[in-house]
Structure 1
Amino acid sequence: MLRLRPLLGSAPRAPLTAGAVAPAATRRGFLAACACCAAGALAAPRFAAAHVPPGPASALHARLDAAASAIEGRMIAWRRDIHSNPELGNQEHRTAALVAAHLRRLGFEVREGVAATGVVATLRGGAGDGPVVALRADMDALPAQEPEGLPFASRRRATWDGAEVPVMHACGHDCHVAILMAAAEVLALHRAEMRGTAVLLFQPAEEGLPGGEIGGARRMLAEGAFDSPRPDMVFGLHVLTSMTTGQIAYRPGPAHASSDTFRITVRGRQAHGAMPWDGVDPVVIAGQIVTALQTIQSRQVDVNDPSVLTIGTIHGGTRHNIVPDRVELSGTLRTYDEGRRAFMQRRVKALAEGVAQGMDGAAEVVWEPGGYAALVNDPALADRMAPSLARVAGRDGLRINPRHTASEDFAFLAQRAPGLFFWVGVTPPGQDPARAAPNHSPHFTVDEAGLLVGLRAMLHLVADATGSGMA
């Protein structure tokens, strides 16, 4: 979660409707956006070849691809419009209105205001019974300042956690919304050939909310997003600069780590810095706690199953010659397993309290309620749908993604229905993805040709998952 000091910005732009957006002038462009995690950026990982043969292609696949190519310019225009008008979590009113109006024109059953600003839309195919397939796109931007340079750069400002901040799509959620808007139009165009039912979720607040507020996917589920109809499976994607445009990556099983924020308050007794024996020094206690916490990962858990425990802030004291009466620390925990997650939470509490007590102080550990679960791709669904992704990316373009320590609240959707979350490369060929600015960087840019890859992947997944176009 980013928190920036207020900066000067320009006035908000006038609202636009989907039909009023001019077609994109070029196929490739740039974006500034996020890395769709509750906190932290995605570094450039190593991707292994998947070695999955492409699934057989049908006439419907060819028609879907042709329709995707035909709508590409409008999809890019939607993305640029949304990029110019970013909105923070639970503030996505303009984006949601744009989406809802577009879906209603296409004949979807539309429900608005789910989890504050979320949109849920349903389209029933005309080719017979089949499974219910959910597709998800996240809508929120980040409190970040976009650099100058893009003709469609954001100059928006908003209030976040009580402060005025600049706003920027620094994680690619504008791309995700545009892709799903285009998928909706292509599916509606081919409704007579589609089996089953498509449920589209345009989700707010993936990046989390201030103060541990529960929102995003969890709140959408709590407000009935998966109740009627209930999805048999759910798909989601994320653009990623650590892959080349044209590549797609996925990973069966644990793919994104859980994310939990904790705060530790260490209490001592204030004294003169020249006479520390008259008090209890919480600064020294805090130092010992930080050291002790690192032994959980290094000495108490199996290193073959990684986890991360990081102290990110330490605050205490007002003057160099005063022993303060308290020190506050905060940190993050990342794991891939619910058992490991619970174990480390217990050990953080026990170690912090024990160290403080042993040094005549006291410590209180608080875990914030807005943590994200680990994202686990259903292995059977991933294996079944990998040939569909290989058909789009090509045998050499489909990769296996290493596990990310960044988090993603698609995890909660995948707990309610078998899920597959995959990644789409957006760094142009000829550029080194390892040197590209990562998601959540204000310098994060997107090769817009990657949007077509993401759109085709979503369409092929829906067609194959529902058995549409099969003899």
Structure 2
Amino acid sequence: MRLAVLTASLVAALAALAPAAHAAERPEVDAAAKAVQAQVVAWRRDFHQHPELSNREERTSKAVADALRKMGLTPRTGIAHHGVVAIIQGGRPGPKLALRADMDALPVTERVDLPFASKVTTTFNGQTTGVMHACGHDAHTAILLGIAQSLMKMRAQLPGQVMLIFQPSEEGAPVGEQGGASLMLKEGLFKDFKPDAVFGLHVFSTVQVGQIAVRSGPEMAASDRFNITVHGRQTHGSRPWGGIDPIVTASEIVTSAQSIVSRRTDIARLPAVVTFGAINGGIRYNIIPDDVKMIGTIRTFDEGMRQKIFADLKNVATHVAAANGATVEANVPDTEGNPVTYNDPALTARMLPSLKAVVGDANVIEPPLQMGAEDFSYYAKEVPGLFFFVGATSQGIDPQTAPGNHSPEFKLDEQSLDIGLRAMLQATLDYLEAAKA
């Protein structure tokens, strides 16, 4: 009898500590998703047809702010240039939660045959190019607007407060400018409203529509840029001994730098990447130039590895240049990079039942570590964060060979809009209700 009482007490105690789990989707989520579905699709198509580059999201920002005002919200605009933020005040006491969507597009010329395909062109880095939502930020913005509309309709019963973050410049500010999540935080995003947690999502081509991918702990890599300039001495191509060849020196730097990951980094623990993306030097076939410039990216998942690779690349560049009689300017990194996107383990475990309630246990999968980066990572450094991927590739198409995010042929299955909205709304309501209790 005593054992039975103790067992019952233990079960009750564990149940009180366990996250709120739902065997099925909340009925209010289903009703809200059905009510707003057509509007979310319309918003997404409008944003897709009128894409804007990072720090240039004027039309998008205005459309978002106008939509929020029609819902009865009072958005704050102009944060980090074109960011829009609004707070939904629930009718019951509870926690504070932030939800984030990014708004910017890419300098990519669309090659998808859609009636709402982008025809926008612009000048980027001195070249004429198309502009396209090739990464799905149009979907993210539309989904968050749909969530805002849904939450406003249930505001009286809502516990706590929800901050809606519509963020510009996730893809990176233009050269010489600041932007994105880091600038929003610098300008006081969390100063007066410090959330207890922050959620974000991303439509993803390598995940089938109907699936959600999420992993605990490190999920996406830290991303850093570098630029290295090799200074030689110009001479005629027929008399290489009359100068110092920066092209040969730069080539040796690229070759030697390959050993940083393959021989100096413990990739058995976590992966890392050092990639040279561009080399520019010289103007004529028979002139050895004065200088060669190289740019590239570094991807890591551990801060210690990150700093060691910075030091190793500087060391390689400096000593290879010296061995060739050249000098070097090694800016490693050359700007503030994105930190690792890290999902708080406790928060992730707590919210998994919410995601599974929407798509089913078998359709919530753990993806491999992603070498791509996300500036959502800045928010997740301030408060516990959860960032998950929503499948974007249609059934019948292999997501491993489908055109990827950033491709001119990236094609979003619009079912992902409904799934993303349901997943984020379910997670939001479950979090607020559980935290309130």
TM value normalised by structure 2? 0.92
Quote the residue 1:328 is aligned against: 293
> Residue 428 of structure 1 aligns with which residue?
394
Report if aligned partners of 1:310, 1:332 keep a CA contact under 8 Å in 2. Answer: yes
Determine if contact 1:54/1:390 at 8 Å carries over to the other structure.
Answer: no
| 1:214 corresponds to | 178
Contact 1:208 1:216 (C-alpha < 8 Å) held by counterparts: yes
Name the CA distance, whole Å, in 1 between partners of 2:149 and 2:433: 19
Alpha-carbon distance between aligned partners in 1 of 2:126 and 2:283, rounded to the nearest angstrom: 24
Please tell me whether the aligned partners of residues 260 and 370 of structure 1 are also in contact (alpha carbons under 8 angstroms). Answer: yes
The correspondence for 1:134, drawn from 87, 95, 98, is 98
Equivalent residue, structure 2, for 1:252:
216
Question: Which residue does 1:347 correspond to in 2?
Answer: 312
Deviations 1:365-406 (A, max 9, x none): 123214211111111111111111111110110000111111
What is the aligned partner in structure 2 of residue 160 from structure 1?
124
1:7-406 equivalences under 5 Å are 56-57=21-22, 61-126=26-91, 128-147=92-111, 149-211=113-175, 213-304=177-268, 305-366=270-331, 367-406=333-372
Give the aligned partner of residue 416 of structure 2.
Answer: 450
- Residue equivalent to 1:48: none
8 Å CA contact 2:24–2:357 kept in 1: the answer is no
Unpaired segments ≥5 residues, structure 2? 1-17
> C-alpha separation between the residues in 1 aligned to 2:403 and 2:227?
30
- Residues in 2 aligned to 1:287 and 1:111: alpha-carbon distance in whole angstroms: 50
1:271, distance to aligned residue in structure 2 (A):
2.1
Q: CA deviation at 1:75?
A: 0.6
Contact kept? 1:392, 1:453, Cα under 8 Å:
yes
Distance 1:130 1:457 in 2: 20
RMSD: 2.0
Output the CA distance in 1 between the equivalents of 2:30 and 2:46.
24
Question: Identity of paired residues, percent?
Answer: 49
Kindly state the Cα deviation for residue 108 of structure 1 after the two structures are TM-superposed. 2.3
Distance 2:411 2:338 in 1: 26
Aligned-pair CA distance for 1:294: 1.0
Is the CA contact (8 Å cut-off) linking 1:250 and 1:423 kept in structure 2? yes
Q: Which has the higher contact order (CA 8 A, sep 6+)?
A: 1
Choose 282-291 or 365-374, whichever is displaced more: 365-374
Superposed CA deviations along residues 19-56 of structure 1, whole A, max 9, x for unmatched, are xxxxxxxxxxxxxxxxxxxxxxxxxxxxxxxxxx9964
The range that moved more, 345-354 or 132-141, is 345-354
For the residue of structure 1 that corresponds to 2:266, the secondary structure is coil
TM-score (norm 1): 0.85
SS in 2 for 1:446: coil
Q: Is the 8 A contact 1:259 1:407 kept in 2?
A: yes
Which of 1 and 2 has greater Rg?
2
Following superposition, the deviation at residue 60 of structure 1 comes to: 8.9
Listed as ranges, the gaps of 5+ residues in structure 1 are 1-52
Counterpart CA distance in 2 for 1:61 and 1:98 is: 30
1:253–1:379 contact (8 Å) kept in structure 2: yes
CA contact (8 A) 1:213 1:369 kept: no
Aligned length: 418
